[in-house]
Amino acid sequence: MLETVTPMKTAEARDVAETTRKGDAEKRGRKASKEVRQLQLIEATIDSLAKRGYAETTMADVADGAGLSRGIVNFHFESKEKLLIATLQHMYDEYSAHWRAALQKAGDDPARQLQQLVWADFDRSICNKRKLAAWLAFWGEAKSRPTYQALSSSRDNYYQQVFIDLCTTLKQSGSYAYDPQAMALALSAMLEGLWLRLMMGTEDTTRETALQAANAFLAAAFPNHFS
């Protein structure tokens, strides 16, 4: 026998559905709030690393920089080490998303792909004093911290393989004599060296002159593809 649906039951069903919807919205709101708060603390950590360096950065500095209580920092990250690992992870994620977007923007032309990857390294959103100083702070600690090494190694190896693949393709189309792996290593070393000069505030190195130097490297290494 079919059950008769009364107005009362229909109203109850609507109430249940509305309660469920509000509950889901509250959960999403709490999750969003948590992510926003964590990002706020990570950005404050980058500021502190740029201003004070690794050793002098404290949880209190981060809390003050974010305009939050110290209890909030402890609630989200528990310790300075966990906060710093999350910050390094965030910086790698940001950098990875940046170069992947540049690679996709370049289309299918390998020369254009390589050029876009090199140019991406000197984009102001990635290459600025604040973030360069934070990277330098982490690099100074990487040798003695296996967690940092593991995080860096897995990301760097994949990025380096992209360079190797592009150098291999360009060698074939340009009839070059170089070894692709050695050329990819030289390319990476050149970019890292320019970043280091920018980090150290070398007088003759700006983002513009660094990009000019990188372009000159491309023209010298791949003369049949870059002028």
Domain boundaries, the chain: 1-78, 87-227
> Can you give the C-alpha Rg of the chain in angstroms?
25
pLDDT digits (tens, 9 = 90+) for 163-221: 999 999 999 999 999 999 999 999 999 999 999 999 888 888 999 999 999 999 999 99
Single-letter residue type at 194: L
The number of beta carbons lying within 10 Å of the beta carbon of residue 143 is 9
State the pLDDT at residue 190.
Answer: 96
Alpha carbons 203 and 218: distance in angstroms, whole number: 23
Tell me how long the chain is: 227
Alpha carbons 74 and 82: distance in angstroms, whole number: 10
Give the DSSP H or E segment for 25.
Answer: helix 7-52
Q: Is the separation of the CB atoms in 93 and 78 below 8 Å?
A: no
Alpha carbons 80 and 57: distance in angstroms, whole number: 9
Q: What is the dotted CATH code of the domain comprising 87-227?
A: 1.10.357.10
State the pLDDT at residue 46.
Answer: 96
């299918």: which residue's tokens? 108
State the pLDDT at residue 11.
Answer: 58
Q: Is 98 left (phi over 0), alpha (psi -120 to 50) or beta?
A: alpha
Q: Which CATH number fits domain 1-78: 1.20.120.1690, 3.20.20.70, 1.10.10.60, 3.10.180.10?
A: 1.10.10.60
